[in-house]
Amino acid sequence: MQSLRRLDKNKNIKNTKILLRVDFNVPRNSEGVTDATKIIKVKEIIINFIKRGAIVILCSHLGRPQVKGKEGFSLAPIKIAAEKIIEAEIAFIEKDFKKNIEEGIKENKKIFLLENLRFDIGEEKDSDEFAKTLASLCDIYINEAFSCSHRKHASIHGITKFVDSYAGETIQEELVALNSIVSDTQKPITCIIGGSKISTKIDLINNLLPKIDFMIIGGAMANNFIKYNNYEVGQSKIEENINSTIKNILQQAESNNCKLILPTDVVTAKTFEEKGINKTLDEVEKDDMILDIGQETTNQIILVLKQSRTIFWNGPLGFFEKDSFAKGTNQISLNIAELTQEKKLISIAGGGDTFAAIKKSKKEKNFTYISTAGGAFLEWLEGKILPGLKVLEIKN
Ligand code: ADP
Ligand code: 3PG
Ligand code: MG
């Protein structure tokens, strides 16, 4: 296992400004946060630093504002949820970070949250300029966002060049848990990939194929495969220009003797408010959206689960936030939980939304392990060294 730099638990941190990179990119809807697991995870760490007299500056990204625009991506609503969880006041810093934090400290404020880091163009570019701006805010930087450590971004990667930097407790815990479980995995190994981050995750599929026996693809990820096989996908979420990637995956699966399982039926609707209809692939119409896997597909996946000894799962199999489209994800969650409890399966799931979906099915306690990391979990599984962890390694 990688050895990462840790902050001495007994170090005097009184009045030390600690910049804590957290992952507050939480599942949410128009009313607020729908699953606060990622915030709860760092609660005790924040409280402990405050008790030791430190000043905590929280920073995180939220969504993809550089692609979709800033509207709806402010961390202001997340601050309100975080204050309730941490049971302490958090000062929200929208701009002029340094000046406003210094003023806040004079007013005896102890916890700050910066506005969405991705509002600054330098964050995703890993620009030295933005990394320096962030570094200038603190005496110590700590990464508590394993789930973001696959991103070579300024708040994860670049910043470590400019300030004393450490891996936080949650990163250590996550690595210890994942390493101990994964070193004990048995074949057949099945990977389930769903969700909606097609562009981020599709390339990972190829690298995982040689390591596993079954690859199940669902969620919006499956829509591109369905389209590639010349079926109508109507208004479904898809990614453009990835036919060659799909062709490659199909070839790789065959040459690695990995069985690829794609939906044979789906649940569609014309609006998100409808109930949804179970359709075979050739029944999908031009104005339909594919929003869940169908019952025949679910049954087929359950058969694969029963033949497996290890399951890795990232990405809900449908638009699970709406009950009408949560059935596929729910049934898979219930079956994995049951097989795990019967000791027939080791089950490891990852992803903020996957965690929320499993929680919705009330089975989060019955999996072997669930990580809040999605893309980072898959990259770690591939055996990649995550850039955000690489820069925190202890050098001999
Ligand atoms: P995770 O956070 O677990 O890594 P992602 O962020 O990749 O997962 O994807 C989760 C999102 O994918 C959820 O909001 C879910 O509603 C969405 N999703 C899954 N299937 C579909 C689908 N068929 N159409 C649209 N969205 C979908
Ligand atoms: C996640 O939700 O997996 C992390 O917050 C990373 O988000 P990103 O895919 O937008 O970088
Ligand atoms: Mg997600």
Task: Name the residue of 21, 22, 24, 25 to mutate for ligand 2: max ligand atoms within 8 A of Cβ.
Answer: 25
* Stated pTM of the model: 0.94
Q: How far is the CA of 331 from the centre of ligand 3 (A)?
A: 20
In ligand 2, the atom with minimum distance to the C-alpha of 151 is 11
Q: Whose atoms come closest to the Cα of 321: which ligand?
A: 1
Q: Which of 323, 325, 328, 358 is nearest to 340 (CA)?
A: 358
Q: Whose atoms come closest to the Cα of 221: which ligand?
A: 1
Q: Which residues surround ligand 3, an ion (CB under 5 A)?
A: 352-353
Q: Whose atoms come closest to the Cα of 200: which ligand?
A: 2
Q: Whose atoms come closest to the Cα of 234: which ligand?
A: 1
Q: How far is the CA of 147 from the centre of ligand 2 (A)?
A: 7
Domains 17-167 and 175-381 share a fold: yes
Quick check: 120 and 130 in contact, CB under 8 A?
yes
Pocket of ligand 1 (CB under 6 A): 194-197, 219-220, 237, 290-291, 314-316, 318-321, 351-354, 374
Average pLDDT per 10 consecutive residues for the chain, totaling 396 residues: 91 97 95 94 98 98 96 96 98 98 98 98 98 98 98 98 98 94 90 93 91 97 96 96 94 96 98 96 98 98 98 97 97 98 96 96 96 94 94 90
The pLDDT of residue 2: 78
In ligand 2, the atom with minimum distance to the C-alpha of 61 is 5
Among protein residues, the one with the nearest Cα to ligand 2's atom 5 is: 25
In ligand 2, the atom with minimum distance to the C-alpha of 23 is 5
Q: How far is the CA of 51 from the centre of ligand 3 (A)?
A: 32
Rounded to 5°, the CA angle 303-307-311 comes to 95
- Is the C-alpha dihedral spanning 142, 144, 146, 150 positive or negative? negative
10 Å Cβ neighbour count for 245? 18
Among protein residues, the one with the nearest Cα to ligand 2's atom 7 is: 148
Q: How far is the CA of 5 from the centre of ligand 3 (A)?
A: 28
The pLDDT of residue 128: 98
Task: Name the residue of 30, 64, 196 to mutate for ligand 1: max ligand atoms within 8 A of Cβ.
Answer: 196
Task: Name the residue of 24, 353, 354 to mutate for ligand 1: max ligand atoms within 8 A of Cβ.
Answer: 353
Q: Whose atoms come closest to the Cα of 356: which ligand?
A: 1
Domain ranges in the chain are 17-167, 175-381
Pocket of ligand 2 (CB under 6 A): 23, 25, 64, 147-148, 151, 197, 200, 352, 374-375
Q: How far apart are the first and last CA of the chain?
A: 15
The arrangement of secondary structure in 175-381, i.e. its CATH architecture, is: 3-Layer(aba) Sandwich (3.40)
In ligand 2, the atom with minimum distance to the C-alpha of 352 is 2
Among protein residues, the one with the nearest Cα to ligand 2's atom 9 is: 375
CATH of 17-167, one of 3.20.20.140, 3.40.50.1260, 3.40.50.720, 3.10.129.10: 3.40.50.1260
The pLDDT of residue 190: 97
The pLDDT of residue 377: 94
